[in-house]
């Protein structure tokens, strides 16, 4: 075990898998000589060479389309979008080709698409989105979102080994802010939820960076015992873990950094309403961003994104219900 940042853990997972399987290759803008926009692939070009660490044109559709072709002939490409927002330029290739290839032609498409996502650094409306729900709605894609360094490494390895196209949501705000003990060598984290904190009175469900916001918000909250459930995987969604938590606590707050309408939290709320309504002792409460672009202005961005205070107040009101 060694302590790593969230960013270093992703890098270590990529390097570990590339060393063990020559079919793994990386593709993206400035990921080679420059080492990536956030330096996740720093040093990879020198170790693995231009044939396996490919600097691409500024063309997300071409990156994903080429990766699909490489996967069909047996390679295991990992595509990096510099920012998750830019995936819109490759949406057709991912949603209409990669996601449907197995259904249509019985061909697995083993590609991993890394999407640095989320706000918290004043990146503005074109560099701060959380587009995971776009891909939850596309049958054939898997979607994962780690919150810890340990899970970041385990999930990136699991994503690369999965025969399906996997969208890997890595939160930029966590890159150098979150550290943790990470196992050496190769291991896989399952596409299932984990209990980040045990509790009895209320459960808060979150994923990605919001897990840390929730943990801070619910520490020593009016003496209540609050469970925190980290989803980790959005597709497949760990429905049994969610329903078990609801049955145990009977009160639920769902926290989602994405804008509220049709966000991942909406699917979780629908699941609870349909299959665990009788277990509830209060309404399902959601905390999310409003339906607006993320502002450049730091004070306005802070007002838009879910905060510790907003989560704490939502929990306090539900506890008193």
pLDDT in tens, 157-180: 999 999 999 999 999 999 999 999
Check 127, 171, 173, 212 and give the catalytic one. 127
Record the tokens describing residue 137, joined without a space.
């709605």
Mean pLDDT value across residues 255-272: 97
Mean pLDDT value across residues 208-231: 95
Residue 120 confidence (pLDDT): 87
Q: What is the pLDDT of residues 10-54, one digit of tens each?
A: 999 999 999 999 999 999 999 999 999 999 999 999 999 999 999
Residue 197 confidence (pLDDT): 97
Catalytic residue list contains 248: no
Is-cis flag, bond preceding 39, omega within 30? no
> What are the DSSP calls for 172-238, one per residue?
GGGTTT-EEEE-SS-----SS-EEEE--SSEEEEE-TTHHHHHHHHTTTSTT--EEEEE--EEETT-
Mean pLDDT value across residues 193-201: 97
Q: pLDDT confidence of 220, banded at 50, 70, 90?
A: confident
Domains defined along the chain, listed by start: 2-182 (3.40.50.970), 194-319 (3.40.50.920)
Residue 222 confidence (pLDDT): 80
The SS3 of residue 267 is helix
């Amino acid at each position: 075990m060694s302590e790593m940042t969230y960013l270093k853990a992703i890098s270590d997972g990529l390097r570990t898998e590339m060393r063990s399987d020559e079919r793994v290759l990386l593709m993206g803008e400035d990921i080679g000589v420059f080492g990536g926009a956030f330096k996740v692939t720093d040093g990879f070009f020198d170790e693995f060479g231009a044939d396996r660490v490919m600097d691409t044109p500024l063309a997300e559709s071409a990156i994903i389309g080429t990766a699909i072709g490489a996967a069909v002939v047996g390679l295991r490409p990992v595509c990096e979008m510099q920012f998750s927002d830019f995936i819109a330029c490759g949406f057709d290739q991912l949603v209409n080709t990669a996601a449907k290839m197995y259904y249509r032609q019985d061909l697995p498409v083993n590609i991993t698409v890394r999407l640095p996502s989320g706000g918290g650094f004043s990146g503005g409306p074109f560099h701060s989105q959380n587009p995971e729900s776009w891909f939850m709605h596309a049958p054939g894609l898997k979607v994962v979102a780690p919150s810890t360094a340990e899970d970041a490494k385990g999930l990136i390895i699991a994503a690369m080994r999965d025969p399906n196209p996997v969208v890997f949501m890595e939160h930029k705000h966590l890159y150098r802010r979150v550290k943790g003990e990470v196992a050496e060598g190769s291991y896989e984290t399952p596409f299932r939820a984990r209990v980040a904190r045990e509790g009895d009175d209320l459960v808060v469900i979150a994923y990605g960076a919001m897990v840390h916001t929730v943990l801070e918000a619910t520490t020593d909250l009016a003496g209540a015992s609050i469970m925190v459930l980290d989803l980790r995987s959005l597709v497949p969604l760990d429905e049994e873990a969610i329903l078990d938590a609801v049955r145990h606590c009977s009160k639920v707050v769902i926290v989602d950094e994405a804008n509220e309408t049709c966000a991942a939290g909406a699917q979780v709320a629908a699941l609870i309403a349909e299959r665990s309504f009788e277990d509830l002792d209060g309404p399902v409460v959601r905390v999310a961003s409003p339906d607006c672009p993320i502002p450049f202005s730091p004070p306005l961005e802070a007002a838009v994104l879910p905060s510790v205070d907003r989560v704490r107040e939502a929990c306090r009101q539900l506890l008193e219900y």
